[in-house]
Every structure is written in structure tokens, then in C-alpha cells.
Amino acid sequence: MLAKKATRMANRKKIKEGKTKVLYRGPEPGTLIQYFKDDITAFNNLKKDKIEGRGILNNRISAHIMTKLSECNVPTHFIKRINMREQLVHEVDIIPVEVIVRNIAAGSFAKRYGIEEGTKLPRTIIEYCLKSDELSDPVLSEDYIFSYDLAHPIELDEMYQQALRINDLLTGMFLMINIKLVDFKLEFGRMYNEVTGDLHLLLADEISPDGSRLWDITSDEKLDKDRFRRDLGGIEHAYQEVARRLGILGDDNGKVEVAKPVMNKPLHIRKVNI
Ligand SMILES: Nc1ncnc2c1ncn2[C@@H]1O[C@H](COP(=O)(O)OP(=O)(O)OP(=O)(O)O)[C@@H](O)[C@H]1O
Ligand SMILES: [Mg+2]
């Protein structure tokens, strides 16, 4: 039984491998298995390490957040968490534009505009960056996005609206556990319905302390990847603390998160036009 399972896992087709995850072909057409590695990287791969158990924590945290979002009718790629390291997701064409949502100045934003880190922004600011490690994810203007057909205006508008809604939901979710949601990164993808030809936009990738800044409300202690970027130590404890406060730390007991299927309205953009 175990040997059979091991062979099945060794034989499955790898679709892509990134810095922190591997995507395998899923059991049904149009599905993928997202495997979370323990690798951690920063500064577009210049700094790397392996932190035992980090992949398990990110899988758990992201599955929990995606499930909560789909309960609030946010369309996501997440179908269910399969085991400690893997989740089943819908395959999408990733839009090569990262959406950054900022509530409080930090990191590159604070540096770029000379704003002291920790300053609350007058309003939520959404930025777009090119998904490109070689170019260090440069900030993009809307004109650039449209000129180079990275996303259709209807898609970008939908990404903007979804990002604000996700921010609203996550800010509340983290406030309840005494965490400030400083900023976070989102990736979206296109899913085509081959039968109807409709195109849907889904939130993809992951939401975890890797791509978010999470600070304790009272102490401002960092509970995210900045502990690694800035050599603060205690990264595994910080991620565990986030999981503990979300109420998902500990024995799995066979429990897996399953999202209710949510589909947004078709975007009414023809596949050939993008
Ligand atoms: N549902 C999905 N369908 C297809 N691709 C996906 C899906 N969800 C995430 N991806 C992509 O799979 C890869 C995940 O791997 P990982 O996060 O390790 O990549 P990465 O090294 O950060 O690379 P990248 O710079 O491309 O994000 C990313 O390229 C991500 O955009
Ligand atoms: Mg990634």
C-alpha cells in the first residue's frame, strides 16, 4: 500500500517548480497539486535557506485563509488541502502581474518614498509589480500592463476590486487575533471554461507569512518573512504563532480544509483577445 503510494507520487508529472513550491498534474483535468517545500528565499533568490516545517505551516495557513475567503464568495484556485504538504487547486494561467496591497508603510515602499516604516497610509494603496526575479519584480504602471498585454483592463479592474475586498476580509481576520495586516502580495490567474468559452479570474498561489507582513498589534513584533530577510531569527516560531492564533496549530487529526466552489461572473473577454 505504502509502496504503491510512493510509486504513484514518484510518477506524477511535474508541471513547474518555483522557489518554494512544486506544481504537479492533478487527478482531474484542469487540476494541479501544489506541494509546499521548506525552502525560504528572499531578495529574489539571493538569500536562501531551508526551515524545517515551514512548508507545512504555509500549506496550513494558506489553506485556512483561502477557505475563509471562498466562504465570503472570493473566487480562488483552492479546492482542498490533501495532506500536510499538499493542496489540490484549479490550474490557471497566471497573470504575470503581482498585486501588492499596502495598509502601512514598510519594506521597499517605505524606502522608495522616504516614509518611516510603520506609518499608517492615508488609504490602502495597491501597486502592481512584474513577476520577474531577473528584474527584481519592478513596479508597473497601468499603461505598461496594457501596452504589453499583461492583463486586459477588465481583468485589472477585477483584480483591483478583489484585492480591496480581500484586504477588508483579511484585515478583520487578523485584527481578531491581535495582528496588524501591514501589506501582502496576491497573484491571480485565468481559468477558461472550454465549453462556454468563458474566462474567470481566480485568486491563485498562496497567502501566508511569506508574502505578507504581519505585526503583533501591541509590540509590533514581526511574525512574517522579514524575520528571515533581516536576520531577526525565530522564523519558525513566528509562523507557528500565526497558525496558533488562527486556531489551526497542532495535530491534523485527519482534518482537511475544503473550500466551497465559488465562481465569479465571466469576464466577457474572449480568449483570443488576450
Ligand atoms: N493555480 C495555479 N495554476 C498555475 N500556476 C500556479 C497556480 N498557483 C500558483 N502558480 C504558480 O506556481 C508557481 C509557484 O511556485 P513558487 O511560489 O515556488 O514560485 P516562485 O519561485 O515564487 O516563482 P514566481 O516568481 O513565478 O512566483 C508560481 O510561478 C505561481 O505563480
Ligand atoms: Mg511564489
pLDDT tens for each residue of 83-109 = 999 999 999 999 999 999 999 999 999
What is the per-residue pLDDT for 272? 47
Sequence ranges of the domains in the chain: 94-234
- Among candidates 40, 74, 33, 80, which has minimal Cα distance to 57? 40
Where does the pLDDT of residue 40 fall: very low under 50, low under 70, confident under 90, or very high at 90 and above? very high
The full length of the chain comes to: 274
Measured from the alpha carbon of residue 17, the closest ligand is: 1
Question: 273, 107, 271: which is closest to 196 by C-alpha?
Answer: 271
Give me 63's grid cell: 489553506
Rounded CA-CA distance 96/149 in Å is 10
Question: 17 Cβ partners below 8 Å, 6+ apart?
Answer: 23
Pairing of strands 212-216, 139-140: unpaired
Assess whether pLDDT exceeds 50 at residue 274: no
**Which option is the CATH number for 94-234: 3.30.470.20, 3.40.50.1110, 3.30.210.10, 3.40.309.10?**
3.30.470.20
Phi, psi of 117 (to 5 degrees): -60, 135
Q: For residue 271, what pLDDT is reported? A: 55
Are 198 and 192 within 8 A, CB to CB?
Answer: yes
> Counting ligands in written order, which one lies closest to the CA of residue 187?
1
Quote the mean pLDDT of the chain: 93
User: Distance, CA 76 to ligand 1 centroid (Å)?
Assistant: 14
- pLDDT for the residue numbered 252: 72
Q: Residue 22 CA: which ligand 1 atom is closest?
A: 15
Spatial contact of 203 and 267, defined as CB atoms under 8 Å apart: no
pTM over 0.85: yes
Residues with beta carbon inside 6 Å of ligand 1?
Answer: 16, 18-21, 23, 32, 77, 89-92, 94, 131, 133, 187, 189, 204-205
pLDDT at site 248: 95
**Cα separations in angstroms, 134 against 44, 108, 131:** 8, 17, 9
Q: Considering only 23-37, 183-197, 216-230, 254-268, which range has the smallest mean pLDDT?
A: 254-268
